[in-house]
Amino acid sequence: MMIMKASSERPDGRAGRSGFTIIEVLFALIILTVGILGLASTTLFVVRQTQVAEVATERVMALQSVIERLNATPYNSISNSTEPVTIGSFEVTWTVSEGSLSKQVVLVTTGPGLQYNTDQPTLAPSVSETFEYRILSR
């Protein structure tokens, strides 16, 4: 009777060794590092975009508040602002010009916002933005 002995030889010719080679481990670490760095840069971008969106939302809310005040004012009483109205971190001023059947209102908000002086827009503490709208006589 013939007894077969189990061979510890692997098909690739390496006898009895298991595990990873140092080259395989290094490649895995390089790929993992690139992936983690990619996630970190994406996280910074998302945080910045969230801050920009918050500032834009606050600015729009300040504008909306002033527009609602002006719309609630009788048409003949709507006039230029005498001093800035502060809403949150924004100051809002407006000028009114008379038309035949309407008034043109130019609102200027000053507060935090995006500044476009460089190649990359930056979040600045004091940026002025203009918004125009028309109020029709009733």
Compute the distance between CA of residue 127 and CA of residue 112 in angstroms, rounded to an integer: 6
- Contacts (Cβ under 8 Å, ≥6 apart) of 46: none
Instruction: Give the pLDDT of residue 18.
Output: 78
Instruction: Give the pLDDT of residue 4.
Output: 58
CB 16 within 8 A of CB 8: yes
- Tell me the pLDDT of the chain (138 aa) as tens digits: 666 555 555 566 655 567 889 999 999 999 999 999 999 989 988 998 899 899 999 999 999 999 999 999 999 999 999 899 999 999 999 999 998 899 999 999 999 998 887 777 888 899 999 999 999 987
Look-up: residue for tokens 């009483």?
77
| Pairing, β 122-136 against β 90-98 | unpaired
Tokens of 111: 């507060």
Please name the helix (run of DSSP H) or strand (run of DSSP E) that holds residue 122, with its range, or none: strand 122-136
Look-up: residue for tokens 């692997």?
10
Q: How many CB atoms lie within 10 A of CB 107?
A: 20
pTM here is 0.70
